[in-house]
Amino acid sequence: MYIALTGSENNKDVYIYHSFRKENGNSSSRIYKKLGKYNTLLEQFDGDRDKMMAWAREQADKETKLYKEATGKISVEFSKAACIPMNERRSFNVGYLFLQELCTQLRIDKICRTIKERHKYKYNLQAILTDLVYARILSPSSKLASYDYCQTLLEPPKYSLQDVYRSLSVIAEESDFIQSELYKNSNFLYPRNNRILYYDCTNYYFEIEEESDSKRYGKSKENRPNPIVTMGLFMDADGIPLAFDVYPGNQNEQTTLKPLESKILQDFNCSEFIYCSDSGLGSAANRRFNSLGNRAYIITHSLKKMKKEDREIALNPTQFRKVGSTKFIDLRTLDETDEEVYNTVYYKEVPVVTGNMDETLIVTYSPKYKAYQRRIRDRQIEHAEKIINTPGRKRKGKNQNDPMRFVKKTSVTPDGEIANKQVYNIDEEQIQKEEMYDGFYAVITNLEGDVSEIIRINKQRWEIEENFRIMKTEFEARPVYVRREERIKAHFMTCYISLLLYRLLEKKLGDAYTVSQILGTLRSMQMTLLNTASGYIPSYTRTELTDSLHKTFGFRTDYEFITKASMRTIIKETKQIKSKKS
Phi-psi region of 230 (alpha: psi -120 to 50; beta: other; left: phi over 0): beta
**What gap in Å lies between CA 577 and CA 188, rounded to an integer?**
10
Contact 549, 509 (CB under 8 A): yes
pLDDT at 65 over 90: no
pLDDT at 228 over 80: yes
pLDDT of residue 578: 72
**What gap in Å lies between CA 387 and CA 394, rounded to an integer?**
7
pLDDT of residue 70: 64
pLDDT of residue 345: 94
Could you read off the pLDDT of 32-42 as tens digits, one per residue?
Answer: 888 888 888 88
Could you read off the pLDDT of 42-56 as tens digits, one per residue?
Answer: 888 888 989 999 999
Greatest mean pLDDT among 255-259, 413-417, 477-481 lies in 255-259
**What gap in Å lies between CA 31 and CA 568, rounded to an integer?**
27
What average pLDDT does the segment 16-28 reach? Answer: 78
pLDDT at 192 over 90: yes
What is the DSSP code (8-state) at residue 480?
A: B
pLDDT at 431 over 60: yes
Could you read off the pLDDT of 512-551 as tens digits, one per residue?
Answer: 999 999 999 999 999 999 876 678 999 999 999 999 999 9
Could you read off the pLDDT of 463-490 as tens digits, one per residue?
Answer: 999 999 999 999 988 888 788 899 999 9
**What gap in Å lies between CA 520 and CA 499, rounded to an integer?**
15
Exposed (0-12), middle (13-18) or buried (19+): which is 337, by Cβ within 10 Å?
Answer: exposed
What average pLDDT does the segment 255-274 reach? Answer: 90
pLDDT band at 139 (very low <50, low <70, confident <90, very high): very high
**What gap in Å lies between CA 508 and CA 563, rounded to an integer?**
28
Pick the residue with more confidence: 512 or 81?
512
- Kindly state the helix (H) or strand (E) to which residue 429 belongs, with its residue range: helix 428-435
Residue type at 374 in one-letter notation: R
**What gap in Å lies between CA 121 and CA 581, rounded to an integer?**
38
pLDDT at 447 over 70: yes
Residue % of the chain over a pLDDT of 70: 95
Contact 133, 213 (CB under 8 A): no
The pTM of this model reads 0.81
Contact 537, 562 (CB under 8 A): yes
Helix axis angle, 108-116 relative to 96-105, nearest 10°? Answer: 60
Q: Helix, strand, coil proportions of the chain in percent (round to 5)?
A: 40, 20, 35
Could you read off the pLDDT of 269-289 as tens digits, one per residue?
Answer: 888 899 999 998 999 999 999
Peptide bond into 479 cis (omega under 30): yes
Q: Out of 62-76, 188-202, 304-318, 352-366, which region has the weakest mean confidence (pLDDT)?
A: 62-76
CB atoms within 10 A of CB 132: 25
